[in-house]
Amino acid sequence: MINQAIQTLELSLRYSGQNARALDKVSLELSPGEIVLVSGPTGCGKSTLGLILCGAIPGLIPGMLSGSVLLGREDLSTLPMREIAGVLGFLLQNVEQQTFTDQVEEEIAFGLENFCVPAAEIPGRIEEALALVDARHLAGRQLSTLSAGERQRVMLAALLALRQQILILEPLAYLDQAAQQMLLRLLLRLAEQGKAVLIFEHRRDIVHTVAHREIYLQEGRLAVAPEVRASFPRIRQRKPGPTVLDIAQLDFTWSGSDQSIFSSFSLTVGQQESVVLLGSNGSGKSTLMALIMGLLRPTGGRITVCNHDPAAGALRLLARDAAFIFQHPDHQLFLPYVRDEVASQAAEPGAVQAELADMGLEGLEDRHPRSLSMGQKRRLTIAAALARQPKLLLLDEPSVGQDDLHLSRIICRLDRFLEQGGTLLTATHDRRVAEALADRIIRFQEQTAPEPAPCA
């Protein structure tokens, strides 16, 4: 067995067209049998490091690279991609951009076929990989119909099926808490079998339970990891005002499916209230938000948002009063400049700069939204939605890509939104978010009709 899986020596990178180095003389080692957490504030260079280690920089993304990366004893830059892929597997943050097919089994088979696994073995390997991430129930599904966390599980299955020696992952963002724990236990088992795992995550405490070491990056350099932040700001308690959202006896079943997502589900939310939706992957959180916005039609029951009925064609009125921040920031960033994304939504011109500043995005106004980090994209979608001054804000997973500091900023901004009369419905898997934002928690059950539960 090779005694070191990956070693970097004084690795530095400057992206084309930028002055500052994204990575600055980073030397690190990852050995077989080790799980190492890579953390650090947003923009510290984690993703850049991941992209270099998997060979995407400088091959696909141009930049000035110096220093070296050894894979085993070989210099990474001298190895053909095919050879790298044989030992090193990666799944980075954006699970949307890393699929090759349309369907669950095909997606897993794709990698296996490329690795020339004999056809007769492939079905067994697919089955085994799906079982590893508790996703056998997703067999046969089209990827486009999966919830965010379901998709992330399938992507993980596709990776694990390849049985590479080194895994580089940023895997937790969309997984529910049970799936997070299951994956971490699985990684521990793989490490015991001699695999080397590099895992990127902001919620350091979750990964500390299995990681052997932590590498902390700050402004592209190795730094001493600070204590995990123990507490976050919390929104102030307020007495709910008149009803803003009223859901009565909602039924919903996807066409072509025989399993109902909602049956006789009711929920009333008052003005200035902040309700948090919790529940496992695929339990219906995002679906509920799409129903509230009129993007889907209920099979039965009635939804009223700020006195409009989305199913009765009041979509234009609804769009004025309610804003929906999608779970994947990429799904709602379309314009060429960061500034435009906010300006195109803003109720008044002065809001643009103020919202960007509140979300820590000053100085990025002229960047292309797609060039931002995931955490920055998330904050941009929040800035754009708040600039519209909606009465009701639907926020699907606020903490995607956020470090502690930025998450605190988001919480404080949402508190101000509530203070000014806004109403908030948030879906999350992140305990920090639920604790900070919930006046009331609604817990959705496993893939069946959710039932409101009392405050946890």
Ligand X SMILES: Nc1ncnc2c1ncn2[C@@H]1O[C@H](COP(=O)(O)OP(=O)(O)OP(=O)(O)O)[C@@H](O)[C@H]1O
Instruction: Catalog residues that contact Mg ion under the rule CB under 5 A.
Output: 147-148, 285-286, 327
Cβ-Cβ contacts under 8 Å for 33 (sequence gap 6 or more): 191, 192, 194, 195, 196
- Which residue, judged by CB position, is nearest to ligand X in the bound state? 149
Q: Is the peptide bond before 58 cis (omega within 30 degrees of 0)?
A: yes
Minimum distance, C-beta of residue 68 to ligand X, in the bound complex (Å):
39
Tell me: does residue 265 bind ligand X (CB under 6 A): no
User: Alpha-carbon distance 376 to 314, whole Å?
Assistant: 32
Instruction: Work out what residue 180 binds among ligand X, Mg ion, none; the CB cut-off runs from 5 to 8 Å by kind.
Output: none
CB 201 within 8 A of CB 37: yes
Which part of the chain contacts ligand X (CB under 6 A), choosing from 103-111, 190-198, 274-282, 362-370? 274-282
Residue 63 or 284 with smaller CB distance to ligand X: 284
Minimum distance, C-beta of residue 448 to ligand X, in the bound complex (Å):
10
Residue 248: closest CA among 219, 269, 229: 269
**Within 10 Å of residue 65's Cβ, how many Cβ atoms?**
16
Return the residue of 43, 63, 282, 360 that touches ligand X, per CB under 6 A: 282
| Terminal alpha carbon distance of the chain | 49
Which part of the chain contacts ligand X (CB under 6 A), choosing from 11-19, 46-54, 103-111, 141-149? 141-149
Minimum distance, C-beta of residue 145 to ligand X, in the bound complex (Å):
3
Residue showing tokens 């700069």: 353
Instruction: Work out what residue 399 binds among ligand X, Mg ion, none; the CB cut-off runs from 5 to 8 Å by kind.
Output: none
Return the residue of 107, 150, 170, 273 that touches ligand X, per CB under 6 A: 150
Phi, psi for 405 (deg, rounded to 5): -65, -45
Q: What angle do helix axes 148-160 and 104-114 make, rounded to 10 degrees? A: 20
Tell me: does residue 298 bind ligand X (CB under 6 A): no
Return the residue of 69, 261, 275, 436 that touches ligand X, per CB under 6 A: 261
Tell me: does residue 428 bind ligand X (CB under 6 A): no
Residue 149 or 390 with smaller CB distance to ligand X: 149
Residue 69 or 323 with smaller CB distance to Mg ion: 323
**Within 10 Å of residue 386's Cβ, how many Cβ atoms?**
26
Residue 150 or 170 with smaller CB distance to ligand X: 150
Tell me: does residue 149 bind ligand X (CB under 6 A): yes
For residue 307 the two structure tokens come to: 């006195």
User: Alpha-carbon distance 375 to 310, whole Å?
Assistant: 31
Phi, psi for 22 (deg, rounded to 5): -75, -30
